[in-house]
Amino acid sequence: MLRSLLARAARAASSYGRGSRSPSALLVPAATGLASHYSSKAKGNAVPAKKPGATGGGKMKGRKGPTYAKVDDMAASAPSADDAEFELPTDPLPVPPFDPALDVRPGGRPLFCRKDSLSELTHKDACTYLDFSVDELKAKLPEGLPVGMTEEFEETRRWAVLVRQSFLDLRDNFRRIVDPPSWTNGPKVRKQIVLDGPVSCGKSIALAMLVYWARTEGWLVFYVPNAREWTRGGFFYKNAQTSLWDTPVHATKILQDFVKFNEPHLQKLPVQLFDPIPLGEAAGIIMRKDADSMAMPEGSTLLDLVRTGIEVQHAAVGVMIHLRKELSMVKDVPVLFAIDQYNSWFTFSEYGEPITARSWRPIHAKELTTVSAYRSMMHNDMMVGAFSHSMAVGKLRKELPDVPLDARVLFPRYSLDEAEAVCSYYLRQRLIRRDAFSDEKWKRIYYLSYGNGKEMRWLVPFI
């Protein structure tokens, strides 16, 4: 058996070297209607290479295998001119002009809301899309956009986000904390919230839009779009004074991201704590021998504090701890902590502590100095964290340490009304054929994906 396999491999290698076919020639399965979808992507006159020992009909000798069809045959049987217009786009384009004839949902309802900002949205604007300026979106979120949001923008070729009722509830919750309404019979407000829910239900996008809204309102926001990076890679060592593990490289990067948008606020806020900032090790540099701590001079601002941590890597971790205490004392401007991938702080990091020459102990995220300082929600500050179940960090228990019992909020998948708006939007952006669109078909997509936004975007081109 092994000898026959080796002989067939040798014959295949020799025939490939003598043949004139390109190595990009593929065999495309001819079963189901997917063949016409792939045929529109065929270029040139590429002919699929035969399998070693295969006949011209595509059937293998001996054991039966799948039937294959030539790319050229399928390309001739499909209307390539029409299919090319409805292939998934990949590069974002400018926002299309307003067209009343197209920007509608079934029943004549508007597909887009004509509001200038997230602050003007009301619950009547739910299930509509809001266009964003590319430059302003990147300026408000310089730390980075969620992966799901960038994929949506690229495939739809439009910088628009669905206005969801769940996001409006989240926004109004924090709005009522800063600006309490005159009535007292409204829903209970929560200063600490953990967004939980199924994978790809829009938690990260809702968190990013909350940060965008808060910064538009003039808030000071400590935004972490990728909390998992705090527990991966970089230089780490054990601090003998605290018995925690310091990550000075990550601390420097976090401070650099924090100052990108918040610099105007930081230069107006004075330092209120003058406790000495401990110094530690830096990447490739041992601890300083002339000093083990430093103090901020009187009259310093939070911007001076952050810049010290960026310029002096020995002080980066100490500045991170000091900054957390300073932000809790800010009263002149609302402060919000927004942490995406928050569940990665409740599991093990990729770091390990050597125990013996042949064994090591995994280090938990709570043993990292930066995570230990920013993970807790047992305080009076406004803080929201979003779970990311696509990272497969494992199932966490319902009662998390350092988190209030009533903080977890389930973020839902698309409702039926939201799915109708999403499919109408994809129809508007030509991801769906207009002659193939119907209520029955988009509802099939909705129930097949169970309201999962990522799966719906993947399935709608097959309508």
Its sign, for the CA torsion 421, 422, 423, 424, is: positive
Inside any domain, residue 265 = yes
Alpha-carbon distance 424 to 33, whole Å? 24
> Does 207 lie in the same domain as 71?
no
pTM of the model: 0.77
State yes or no: pLDDT of 305 exceeds 90. yes
Supply φ then ψ for residue 297, to 5 degrees: -65, 155
pLDDT at 1 over 90: no
Q: Establish if 162 belongs to a structural domain.
A: no
DSSP string, 245-260: EE-HHHHHHHHHHHHH
**Which of 19, 54, 85 represents a domain boundary (last residue)?**
85
What is the span of the domain harbouring residue 29? 2-85
pLDDT by residue (tens digit) across 392-406?
A: 666 777 788 999 988
Identify any residues that bridge with 338 across adjacent strands, giving them in sequence order: 223, 384
Q: Would you put residue 127 in left (φ > 0), alpha (ψ -120 to 50) or beta?
A: left
From the number of C-beta atoms within 10 Å of its C-beta (0-12, 13-18, 19+), residue 301 rates as: middle
Q: What would the mean pLDDT of 152-178 be, rounded to a whole number?
A: 93
| Domain-ending residue, one of 363, 381, 410 | 410
Judge whether 434 lies within some domain: no
Q: Which amino acid is at 80?
A: S
pLDDT at 66: 39
Q: What are the backbone dihedrals phi and psi of residue 8, each rounded to the nearest 5 degrees, phi first?
A: -65, -40
Quote the CA–CA distance of 184 and 162 in Å, as a whole number.
30
pLDDT tens for 28-38 read 333 333 333 33
Q: Is residue 452 part of a domain?
A: no
How many C-beta neighbours within 10 Å does residue 402 have? 13
Q: Is residue 115 assigned to a domain?
A: no
On whether residue 401 sits in a domain, the answer given is: yes
451, 415 in Cβ contact below 8 A? yes
Q: Please determine, for residue 43, whether its predicted confidence score (pLDDT) is greater than 60.
A: no
DSSP letter at 301? B
> Are residues 213 and 81 part of one domain?
no
The answer to whether residues 194 and 126 touch, using CB atoms and an 8 Å cutoff, is: no
Instruction: Choose one of 53, 85, 117: the last residue of a domain.
Output: 85
Domain count, the chain: 2
194 within some domain: no
Pick from 256, 257, 230: nearest CA to 308: 256
- E strand or H helix that includes residue 417: helix 416-428
**Is 269 within the bounds of a domain?**
yes
> Residue 178: what pLDDT?
94
